[in-house]
Structure formats: structure tokens, C-alpha cells
């Protein structure tokens, strides 16, 4: 819709970047609040958020570039222009998870308890960040004739112009908010450590796979275009989440 907030001489402030920054800041604030509530060291959680932030950006960009390599091979400098959009959540999630495990072990934090602290914050960050995708026009939907279809007209929009499309960015944003609310509700009656985190993984994997059916951008199709790369990863993550919750519940 409005990929550029304003220009000041050679400086351009992109709406996408603003919302991504707000997403990370709001997620960090929520994580620190939850850490204090459950009696964990907020300073260690803040440091963890910093490392996770860097890993998430790098990982999500790497996976996006790999999926869309045909676009980037002709202009390698486009790889670092993340303000143009192009972050794949699962790449960021995997990168952040590996980095978080390294930091948690190094600082002696409880793994499952820390994961439960972070999970609702991730969902809320997705709620905010996907609004930035909507303004930039990335992660756009298929052609749509429904009353709530959106038509992008801005010349710098990454979505096809002049065509009514599914507002998949807003679908994803609302999905993040709903998952956040479910997790906050679940926290009141948590049965075991790790339940919040693995519930988040399961809910996101399933709902993201459903939302993929409405996407119109190139997402790297697999198995003869039966599944997108995100659906394939989501299937694996959903199975892992179910197995982990069964194991953790039995241990408890």
C-alpha cells in the first residue's frame, strides 16, 4: 500500500522497516515482562533477545534468498536490501532456535522455561511485523474477487499492481494475534514446562500451511508443486511439536 513512509533528500524511510523494528521491540518488551513475572533474570533474557534478533534476520533472509535465487543471481546486491521485503519466517525461526540454544546453555538458563517465556512474544511480533509486509506489498496473495480484496497501486509496491488480491499479509497478522491470545490463555493453566513453546510451534505450523493456499508469490514449490517449502517445513515442525508435547507431558 505505502512501501515508503517519506523521503528526505537521499534518505528513504521504508514502512516495512518501521514495522519490523516495532515488532522486535514489542516482542522484547513482552518477553522481559514475562521473565520478571516467572522469576527469571530479565537481563539475560534481554541479551538473549539481542542474539535471537540478529540470528532471525540473517536466517530468514538466507532462506528467502535460497528459495528465490533466480531473482538474486542477476543482482547480488539485492540480497542485503531487506527493506524491499523478503524474510521467510522459518529461516529466521531455525536460525534463532540454534542461537538461543547456544546462549541458554552458555548462561545456564532453563531451556523449556525460557522457551515458554519467548513463545508468546514471537507470536505478537508476527502480528506487528506482518502489517509491514502489507504496506510493502511482499508476501502478497492470489487473485481474489471477495469484498475484502485489496488492490496495490503504489509504483514501488512489491505486489502486482491493479489486480484485486487476497490480503494474505493481514491474514498472517491476524493469525499471529490469535495465536498470541491462545498462548496467553494457556499460560494460566500450564501443565508442564515447554507446553507454551511447542503449542506455538504446532499452531503456527498448521495455520501457516493453511494460509499458504492463499499466497500468490513464489515460495519455492516442492514435490511437483504439491507443497511449498514453508508447508513442507511446517509439516515437519507440527509432527515434532506433537511428539515433544507427548514426551514432556509423560515426563511430568
65 contacts 29 by C-beta, under 8 angstroms: no
Predicted confidence at residue 81, as pLDDT, reads 64
Bridge partners (DSSP) listed for residue 13? 6
Counting beta carbons within 10 angstroms of the beta carbon of residue 113, is it exposed (0 to 12), middle (13 to 18) or buried (19 or more)?
middle
User: Which residue reads 508476501 in cell numbers?
Assistant: 139
Q: Please check the confidence at residue 84 and state whether its pLDDT lies above 70.
A: no
Split at pLDDT 50, 70, 90, the class of 91 is confident
Q: What is the predicted pLDDT for the residue at 78?
A: 67
Looking at the predicted structure, is the pLDDT value of residue 202 above 70?
Answer: yes
What average pLDDT does the segment 208-228 reach? Answer: 82
pLDDT at 87: 66
Give burial (CB, 10 Å; 0-12/13-18/19+) of 175.
buried
Say what the pLDDT of residue 3 is. 73
Is residue 110 over pLDDT 80?
yes
- Asked if residue 76 has pLDDT above 80, the reply is no
Of 120, 104, 96, nearest in space to 195 by CA:
120
Residue 148 has pLDDT above 80, yes or no: yes
pLDDT band at 66 (very low <50, low <70, confident <90, very high): confident
Q: Tell me how far apart the 2 most distant CA atoms of the chain are, in Å.
A: 61
Q: Decide if pLDDT at 103 tops 90.
A: yes
Paired strand residues for 141: 215
SS (H, E, C) the chain: CCCEEEEECCEEEEHHHHHHHHHHHHHHHHHHHHHHHCCCCHHHHHHHHHHHHHHHHHHHHHHHHHHCHHHHCCCHHHHHCHHHCCCCHHHHHHHHHHHHHHHHHHHCCCHHHHHHHHHHHHHHHHHHHHHHHHHHCCCCECECCCCCCEEECCCCCCCCECCEECCHHHHHHHHHHHHHHHHHHHHCCCCCCCHHHHHHHHHHHHHHHHHHHHECCCCCEECCCCEEHHHHHHHHHHHHHHHHHHHHHHHC
Amino acid at each position: 500500500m505505502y512501501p515508503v513512509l517519506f523521503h528526505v533528500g537521499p534518505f528513504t524511510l521504508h514502512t516495512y522497516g518501521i514495522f519490523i523494528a516495532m515488532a522486535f521491540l514489542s516482542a522484547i518488551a513482552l518477553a522481559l515482562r514475562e521473565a520478571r513475572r516467572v522469576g527469571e533474570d530479565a537481563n539475560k533474557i534481554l541479551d538473549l533477545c539481542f542474539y535471537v534478533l540478529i540470528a532471525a534476520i540473517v536466517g530468514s533472509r538466507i532462506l528467502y534468498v535460497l528459495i528465490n535465487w533466480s531473482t538474486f543471481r542477476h543482482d547480488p546486491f539485492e540480497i542485503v536490501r531487506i527493506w524491499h521485503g523478503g524474510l521467510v519466517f522459518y529461516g529466521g525461526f531455525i536460525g534463532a532456535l540454534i542461537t538461543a540454544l547456544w546462549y541458554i546453555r552458555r548462561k545456564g538458563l532453563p531451556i523449556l522455561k525460557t522457551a515458554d517465556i519467548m513463545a508468546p512474544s514471537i507470536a505478537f511480533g508476527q502480528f506487528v511485523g506482518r502489517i509491514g509486509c502489507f504496506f510493502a506489498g511482499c508476501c502478497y496473495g492470489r487473485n481474489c474477487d471477495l469484498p475484502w480484496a485489496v488492490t496495490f497501486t503504489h509504483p514501488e509496491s512489491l505486489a502486482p499492481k491493479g489486480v484485486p488480491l487476497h490480503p494474505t499479509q493481514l491474514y498472517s497478522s491476524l493469525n499471529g494475534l490469535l495465536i498470541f491470545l491462545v498462548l496467553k490463555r494457556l499460560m494460566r493453566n500450564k501443565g508442564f514446562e515447554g507446553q507454551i513453546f511447542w503449542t506455538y510451534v504446532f499452531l503456527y505450523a498448521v495455520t501457516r500451511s493453511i494460509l499458504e493456499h492463499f499466497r500468490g508469490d513464489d515460495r519455492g514449490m516442492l514435490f511437483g508443486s504439491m507443497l511449498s517449502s514453508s508447508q513442507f517445513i511446517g509439516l515437519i515442525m507440527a509432527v515434532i511439536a506433537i511428539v515433544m508435547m507427548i514426551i514432556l507431558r509423560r515426563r511430568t
